Structure 1
Amino acid sequence: MKVLFIGGTGQISQAVSKLAVERGIELYLFNRGQRDEFVPEGAKVITGDIRQKAEAAAVLKDHEFDVVVDWIAFTPEHVQTDIELFTGKTKQYIFISSASAYQKPQRSYLVTEETPMENPYWQYSRDKIACEQLLMEAYRNSGFPVTIVRPSHTYGETAIPAALTSWEHPWTLVDRIRKGQPIIVHGDGTSLWTLTHNTDFAKGFVGLLGHPEALGEAIHITSDEVLNWNQIYAGLGAAAGAEPQVVHISTDFIAAFTPPGTADGLIGDQAVSSVFDNSKIKALVPDFVCTVPFTEGVKRSLSWFENHPELCTVDPEWSALVDDLIQRHGTAPKPISYYT
């Protein structure tokens, strides 16, 4: 297959790119060339900016692809550009949506692809829903060959998965744990969550490339391992070699005393128990199985960061925000174990 990834070097897509090349796919990456260290050997890079429609059309005009995957489409305007660029030029277009678009609050903790799409708490999710609606309309009206994939919380070596964290300086959380400084766990830490390693996600995703039965379908791809947030932070502490000192604070309190937008992802996604029924991806890709448990995956992440000390940076503003929340809440921290 000849496949185009728009992006292809991000947190999730870097593992998919690597596996696709390993499986003999002729892979092209169309991006701005800013993360070359994550381009797998054997992939061909087309330098360009998908946000510049005329430029993208000119660069891609002589190409046709069996599959096009846009890893960086977030708004209806983005996918409308893709529809115009790739109609008649691909047999399958895969849109990367988000499992955060599923109904919040959910009627059931168990999420299937038939769970309604509704998230009044997070604009990111509402934009993904609008993208899905536009693409499915194009599929119904003109046969645009769309497949929708909904990842949930997917991480890899270059990420330290957590809920309330500094996205620009994720090492800050590890630094606080190792120094014995308190961290915050939302709620009482017992809501259920699903973390998926990007190498596991890649197995399911690559199996969908060129799959005729995936056209017109929406599929989520997640691990079957379910943990609560106390276990997740305890696992992070075990990987860091220090027992976390935790303060449990309600999501409402966190939202009330942080800058606007800070807690949107928490309210609109991570604070709600989410367990995924993966029957659909397993039916389409029978050899899909996740083999990286969180306790192993997070060790890989910390090892990767420690091998890149220039990225082990601390965010003083985020750390001050955590300290302020804890002081306002007035609760003493307590140690947390994997079985809390």
Structure 2
Amino acid sequence: MNILVLGGTQFVGRHIVEACLRAGHAVSILTRGKTVDELPSAVERLRGDRDQGATGLASLAGRSWDACVDVSGYTPRQVRASAERLSGYVKRYVFISSVSVYVDDPARHPIVETDPVLPAATEDVTDVNGDTYGPLKVACETIVREIHGDRATVLLRPQIIAGPYDQANRYTYWLNRATLGGEMLAPGDGTDHVQVIDARDLSRFVVTVIENGHAGVFNLAGPRMTWASFMALIGAAQPVWVSADLIKAAGLTFVELPLFRPDGSARSSQMDMSTERARAAGLTLTAPEVTVRETRAWSLAAGLPVVLPPEREAELIRLSRVAAPLSKR
């Protein structure tokens, strides 16, 4: 099959390209040519910029593909340009969406594909930030369905994604911090939950969707585990549990302590995603210990920045020990 990937040089896109190649398909990518490209020479490089509308997609003229995988669509302006240009020229349009489209309800577990989503952003919104990201993805999903229809559209709603090439440094922070050894801040009390999916599992499923013509919406997530299990999995030798209340009082966010959403807090439902539909369609999952081992091997040489400064971590551990005796009075 001939597959067009919109994006394709970074993290998830790169894994999707590699999965398509391993499955024996021919791959073209459309990028602006502004990021490092380490893909195999067999990949056809096309240049374009969806922010320029139809004129930015001139390199697609006269071409058709069996499928398009849109991994870089963040705004309605971008997605409408590509969805309209490829209408009638691709047999399937696969749009990579996000768990952030769902209405936040910490009491609802697990999240399923029919759960309510946020109101869509208007098509003139182009600023992508924490407040607009989910509504923008909803708008993009709507455009893809509107133009390509249910027959030709597959929408994927992935969880937090982990694996080699991940420059976001959310999952990798914990792996590399555990590797340093010593006392390590462990968030909460160990009973909260974390859930990620290996990028390679997502990528294999994209190939499955294309090859088998699956349509509709799919949640993609890996095994759900407690933080106690996660800390053991990554080899944290001396975890020191710091309560969620203390973390909140210290002003730490999802940025300083990535992946940590205490059960019952805002967006904690995103750490409980049902993948029943995707598994029935062929989603298979890598063993968590393999994801840890292979992601760590890549990340140790990647030069990723420190997320939580060591002195801040040490201070929180100290404060947790002061607070512990007080809580027993």
TM over 0.5: yes
Q: Give 1:198 deviation, angstroms.
A: 1.7
Pairing 1:299–2:293 present: yes
Judge conservation of contact 2:177–2:184 (CA < 8 Å) in 1. no
Structure 1 CA distance, aligned partners of 2:146 and 2:118? 18
Deviation readout 1:217-258 (Å, 9 max, x if unpaired): 1112233x22112322332235xxx4333423249816x725
Pairing 1:199–2:200 present: yes
Query: Which one of the candidate residues 173, 178, 181 is aligned to 2:180?
Result: 178
- TM-score, L = length of structure 2: 0.78
Q: Give 1:151 deviation, angstroms.
A: 0.9
Aligned partner letter, 2:154: T
Structure 2 CA distance, aligned partners of 1:294 and 1:270? 23
**Residue equivalent to 2:133:** 124
Structure 1 CA distance, aligned partners of 2:72 and 2:131? 18
**Residue equivalent to 1:338:** none
Pairing 1:245–2:240 present: yes
Judge conservation of contact 2:163–2:198 (CA < 8 Å) in 1. yes
Q: How does 1:311-330 map to 2 (within 5 A)?
A: 311-315=302-306, 318-319=308-309, 322-323=312-313, 326=316, 330=319
Structure 1 CA distance, aligned partners of 2:178 and 2:219? 34
**Residue equivalent to 2:30:** 30
Percent identity reads 21
Aligned partner letter, 1:123: T
Q: Give 1:293 deviation, angstroms.
A: 1.9
Pairing 1:257–2:251 present: yes
Q: Give 1:269 deviation, angstroms.
A: 7.2
Helix, strand or coil: the match of 2:320?
A: coil
Flag the 1:321–1:270 CA change in 2: closer, same or farther, 3 A: farther
Judge conservation of contact 2:246–2:320 (CA < 8 Å) in 1. no
Q: Give 1:61 deviation, angstroms.
A: 0.9
Aligned partner letter, 1:312: G
Flag the 1:193–1:132 CA change in 2: closer, same or farther, 3 A: same
Specify every segment of 5 or more residues in structure 1 that has no aligned partner in the other structure, as ranges.
Answer: 334-340
Helix, strand or coil: the match of 1:46?
A: strand
Pairing 1:154–2:161 present: yes
Flag the 1:115–1:40 CA change in 2: closer, same or farther, 3 A: farther
Pairing 1:103–2:103 present: yes
Helix, strand or coil: the match of 1:194?
A: strand
Pairing 1:331–2:328 present: no
Q: How does 1:205-216 map to 2 (within 5 A)?
A: 205-209=206-210, 211-214=212-215
**Residue equivalent to 2:277:** 280
Judge conservation of contact 1:177–1:243 (CA < 8 Å) in 2. no
Q: Give 1:179 deviation, angstroms.
A: 5.0
Structure 2 CA distance, aligned partners of 1:270 and 1:230? 20
Aligned partner letter, 1:4: L
Aligned partner letter, 2:159: S
Structure 2 CA distance, aligned partners of 1:86 and 1:12? 22
**Residue equivalent to 1:62:** 62
Judge conservation of contact 1:195–1:222 (CA < 8 Å) in 2. yes
Specify every segment of 5 or more residues in structure 2 that has no aligned partner in the other structure, as ranges.
Answer: 121-129, 323-329
Number of equivalenced pairs: 310
